[in-house]
Chain A
Amino acid sequence: MKRLGITAAKNLIRMAVLLVLVSGAAFFLVSVSPSDPLKTNVGQAALGSMSQEQIAKLEEYWGVDTPPVKRFFSWASAFIKGDMGTSLLYRQPVSKVIAEKLKSSLWLMAIAWVISGTMGFLLGILAGVNRGKLIDRLISGYALITASTPAFWLALMLLMVFAVWLKVLPIGLSVPIGTEASAVTIGDRILHGILPAVTLSLTGISGIAMHTREKMAEVMGSDYMMFAKARGESKWQAIRHHGLRNIALPAMTLQFASISEIFGGSVLVEQVFSYPGLGQAAITAGLGGDIPLLLGIAVISAAIVFMGNFTANLLYSAVDPRIRIGRDQA
């Protein structure tokens, strides 16, 4: 248990350092951009509606006169205090915009994450157990095709079939247009989330399915599965007793480590379905030169990705007896 604590602490420190570095890199990238936030159209429009105090702060952040390193530190120290600056496009504090967008994105991503994880895991087992047979070829083929399909195109196709032709699902937006935020029902949310969630799930399956397939095939050829059979266990008994136990952990680890991909997919999918989430906000910010928002989203998304990696690392240390006990004994 003590080892676990040390592992966790080490990982946390590493994560924090990386997060600082990511912020620095992101800050550097937006700083070298040729577009000056205070001079772009959006910036101009935004400036008009801002208080003198806000403009002064903005100048301090992005002003041409301040040296970049100093700018970074003034931005970072404010960020740590919870002040991520003001979004030029939304004319609201960045933290508020992100919180709102993240809420609708998290729903979408969480659902897709769970569905693609379970489906991918099950399909991977099925393919790995029946390696080389028809069902394996079908599943592998599916995985290869979805891995080759851009998420946004799949989104377009689904939109075309279900919203335009069949007219069974709405075209986009997480809520009907013109509805008051308070009047939005859970039903509306679910209805508008179906297509984006389905798209993300369908494309997310391939990675975990192929990984599980490889692991399962490896386990099927292992000495201990052979021995389980030699001891009279049927194929599926052996898989239940020994197979799942040995592939569940790597699969879960991979799923936690693949949050970055689902995040990337959500950016594309949200754009096609005009789903007002974090991804769409990132695109708007990027196209409109809303540097504070773009930076905020980059840092928050990196934090989410690192949390996923952190969980994956910890999971291994906590669950696998070879690491959990092995280290204590050594």
Chain B
Amino acid sequence: MTEIKRGWNRRKTMVVLMAFSMIFLASVAILGHIFREEAMVTDFSRKNLAPCLQYPFGTDFMGRDMLIRTIAGLSMSIRLGLLTAFISAVIACVMGLAAAVLGKFADGLILGLIDLVMGIPHILLLILISFAMGKGFIGVVIGISLTHWTSLARLIRGEVLQLKESQYIRIAEKLGISKGKIAVKHMLPHIAPQLLVGLILMFPHAILHEASITFLGFGLSPEQPAIGVILSESMKYLAMGKWWLALFPGLLLVLTVLLFHYIGETLGRLTDPGHAHR
């Protein structure tokens, strides 16, 4: 007997929370961009203020409003995360497909390349790439784009290999449909959901790595209001008890990354038929 239970359940809660997360992240990204100039405004009449009503996140040693700085930094992080994750996903797609489709030699080559990228600890590889690029924005974008594609490429390769063995793709091949057409018309629709989830789950890593590499001094330049820069500056003032310089920007960064994680995992759970009974 099949009865439909109406009303509220966990799935609907997940979708609503997901929508809220997206709205929050989008508004941070947009607000931060709008207040970009204000984040740099210095005012020495208000420096080193502890959090108060007017400046909820306090001000720093140059009298800059930490709330605005934090939002501007997060906005930068989110936009950079989007950009690098997107480039990474494109690389992952190309590599994964090429490994699965172009035969044994290409497969071995790409798997070797993946092992190569995974072989050097991420942070160290980022330092190397940033060093090669002469630090700064371009170094970060290229570094993060080049280091985050590996696991998604593996996933795509696995999926495509499995699809290739499936009955209907084999029939399509027998019918003489071109390889390109099979890939686009018959394989892509199967991989797309996983690609999307993989892409979204790449944001958190990209954002964290950008913040880390900037924090270490290899990323965005100190003039930029980036979270890594803010936290790096805060380190000098920590021993003097200026706790707000590190606490709030960090907390918001954690929240941002957490929300991206949440969106990715929720989407993954909703699209995976294996979770039907949960």
Q: Which residues of A contact B (CB under 8 A)?
A: 18-19, 21-22, 25-26, 28-30, 32-35, 132, 144-145, 147-153, 156-157, 159-160, 164, 171, 260-261, 263-264, 267-268, 271-272, 279, 282-283, 286-287, 294, 297-298, 301-302, 305-306
Contact = CB atoms under 8 A, between A and B. Distances in A.
Contact of A18 (B119, B121, B133, B208): B119
Contacts of A151: 212
Q: Is the interface of B mostly helix, strand, loop or mixed?
A: helix
A272 B234 CA distance: 11
A164 B238 contact: yes
A153 B120 contact: no
B215 interface: yes
B253 A30 contact: no
Nearest to A155: B235
B215 A147 contact: no
B57 to A, nearest CB: 15
Please tell me the size bucket of the interface on B. Answer: 35 or more
A148 B77 CA distance: 14
B204 interface: yes
B261 A18 contact: no
B231 A153 contact: yes
A260 B122 contact: yes
A26 B117 CA distance: 11
A153 B253 contact: yes
Q: Is the interface of A mostly helix, strand, loop or mixed?
A: helix
Nearest to B127: A286
Contacts of B208: 148, 150
Interface in B190-225: 204, 208, 211-212, 215-218
A18 B246 CA distance: 40
Given A148-B204, A160-B246, A283-B216, A33 B134 contact: yes
B120 A22 contact: yes
The 3 closest A-B pairs by CB, nearest first: A148-B257, A264-B123, A153-B250
B1 interface: no
